[in-house]
Structure 1
Amino acid sequence: MSIDQSMHMPIRWIVSDVDGTLLDTHQQISPYIQQRIRTFTERGGYFTLATGRSLMSVQPFIELLHLTNPLILYNGAKIYDPLQACFLEEQFVSKSHVQWIFNHYYSIRQPFDLDLLVFHQEQIYCTRITPRIQCWIDKEQVEVQVITLMGLEHIAEQITKMMLLGEPESLTLFQQQIEFLNTVKSEHDILEILPFGINKGTALQQLITMTGSQPDEVLAVGDHLNDVEMIKLAGHGVAMQNAHSDLKQVANWITVKTNNEEALVEIIDHVEQSWTEQYNPVIR
């Protein structure tokens, strides 16, 4: 695909996914990308993140990149304002859906070999630390508390999301059995259960409304299936070269480089080139 040159409104926002997009496979942001993001914002652009990660996991990136614009967290379930240090929007999985997962967890775990993580009030819980969960903890650099299933049932309200870790085939089979829930694969081995009707696209629409922007002023970039709705909504939807094939199908264009080749620089270059000398990107 090629860049759609019919979009003449200057791009003011870059909304970037984190894993597989901003970060390389070593979970690092190169010094050059850091510098280019700083320069982009100094010139008047707006940069923010849209991720499935929790605030605990994203906080180091907020500090590293000096982010000041609202961020989309938990795949759209929360919007966080780093300047006010508060959530502007919060959505929760319905108690009936949470209870259904809890009631079926042991029968689910054995045949499908799935590990469960529960996100509640900025804490993460599980019933046991398996090698698979430990690998996820190491990647995300977060703390996870071990709790009994009965203990989980006591926090069934205000759960932001639930996450199942397992083999891709098992997750696909299980996802087909719970079509009544709002689920998305955020990585090949992660299935997330989100509040009903919530995704990165619904959160991006809220962010656009909050800032008085227009979709055509927004470039959104991602690499996996949890980015589909966001990519569709943005006036400029971009898929990484390393993205899932289904995401590439809905994107306006695809980067030449991968996340390991600083593809985000390619995106910043494109946005800055879209500006004219008369353009002054100030939020209305």
Structure 2
Amino acid sequence: MSAVGTRTVEWIVTDLDGTLVARDLRIVESGSAALRRFIDAGGTVVIATGRSEEAALPYYRALGLTTPAILYNGARVVDLSTGAVLHRRSLSVAAWARLTMLFAELPAGVWPAVFSRGRVHVTDSSPALRDYAARDGVALHRLGSWGELPFDDVIKVMLVCDRPELMDPAEEAVSAAVPGVTLVRSESTYLEVLPAGATKGAALRELAASRGVALSDIAAIGDNPNDLDMIQAAGLGAAVGDGAESVRAAADIVVRPCAEGAVADLVARVLP
């Protein structure tokens, strides 16, 4: 057992929404204070999120971080202090072509938002898309057609559903028509289509290896199925107390609910 005040891990990797960031879209103050204490003790904090650079940057700055960030659910690792992309994956040209053909066949109420060139692109408008943009703090850039985007630099496609029951048919449609992609559910109405092999866990493995940090020296925390691979990759995987049942079942430990200080609870366990 470690002495009081001695870190038992080198890194804490935390999801944002539903983990460190509450439903009011603000960082839970106890979590922020605990992470500052962990950094002051010599630890490293990394955020891992489905958000883009634009959407993650305010939280990164509020936490005072200088570390790389895992973005787009693992499709990019970016130094947000400089904008430098450290690891990247893009949808294959074939996958993007199949997706553009599929968009017209998606169930009514499923709206594509496409991430490329540092922007979020749409061809339609809907309340669900506007709510998504407001939630993530991003601008939606309207296109006349999907053909306006570079076919070799599409980072991910977000399928925003009007209601949760559309998620299953949306996932079934993509699975049947588009091989060679990774599908993750980041929220109850968000289905993300990512490059093959892109997960938070894969990005964490790449980043840790490049920095010479053993996975056994990392604690990771999340709340949704898109966090599963990450918490399983880390030496200590923590699930938020009010997170998805599948995440709680797979985690090494279950901590408090998000708004009650999930991240602070994890810090207390690794920094006695």
Q: Which residue among 15, 27, 30 is the counterpart of 1:29?
A: 27
Q: 1:205 to 1:143 in 2, by over 3 A?
A: same
* Number of residue pairs matched by the alignment: 261
C-alpha displacement of 1:193: 0.4
Q: Which residue among 117, 122, 133 is the counterpart of 1:126?
A: 122
**1:158 aligned onto 2:153:** yes
Residue 115 of structure 2: SS of its match in structure 1? strand
Matches within 5 A, 1:1-284: 10-108=8-106, 111-152=107-148, 154-166=149-161, 167-179=163-175, 180=179, 181-255=181-255, 257-273=256-272
Tell me the TM-score normalised to structure 2 length: 0.92
Letter in structure 2 aligned against 1:61: Y
Q: 1:247 to 1:32 in 2, by over 3 A?
A: closer
Unaligned runs of 5+ residues in structure 2 are 1-6
C-alpha displacement of 1:182: 1.6
Residue 18 of structure 1: SS of its match in structure 2? coil
Aligned equivalents of 1:34 and 1:258: distance in 2? 15
C-alpha displacement of 1:10: 2.5
Aligned equivalents of 2:209 and 2:264: distance in 1? 27
Aligned equivalents of 1:191 and 1:156: distance in 2? 21
Aligned equivalents of 1:32 and 1:259: distance in 2? 10
Letter in structure 2 aligned against 1:33: G
Q: 1:79–1:87: 8 Å Cα contact kept in structure 2? A: yes
Q: 2:123–2:144: 8 Å Cα contact kept in structure 1? A: yes
Letter in structure 2 aligned against 1:247: V
Q: CA RMSD in A?
A: 1.5
Deviations 1:244-263 (A, max 9, x none): 111111110101x2111112
Aligned equivalents of 2:80 and 2:221: distance in 1? 21
Aligned equivalents of 1:194 and 1:114: distance in 2? 17
C-alpha displacement of 1:37: 1.8
Letter in structure 2 aligned against 1:41: I
Letter in structure 2 aligned against 1:168: P
Residue 267 of structure 1: SS of its match in structure 2? helix
C-alpha displacement of 1:220: 0.4
Residue 22 of structure 1: SS of its match in structure 2? coil
Aligned equivalents of 2:269 and 2:168: distance in 1? 36
Q: 1:112–1:174: 8 Å Cα contact kept in structure 2? A: no
Residue 193 of structure 1: SS of its match in structure 2? strand
Residue 17 of structure 2: SS of its match in structure 1? helix
Aligned equivalents of 2:52 and 2:189: distance in 1? 18
Letter in structure 2 aligned against 1:162: V
**Further displaced range: 36-45 or 231-240:** 36-45
Q: 1:112–1:171: 8 Å Cα contact kept in structure 2? A: no
C-alpha displacement of 1:178: 2.6
Residue 19 of structure 2: SS of its match in structure 1? helix
Aligned equivalents of 1:196 and 1:66: distance in 2? 32
Identity %: 28
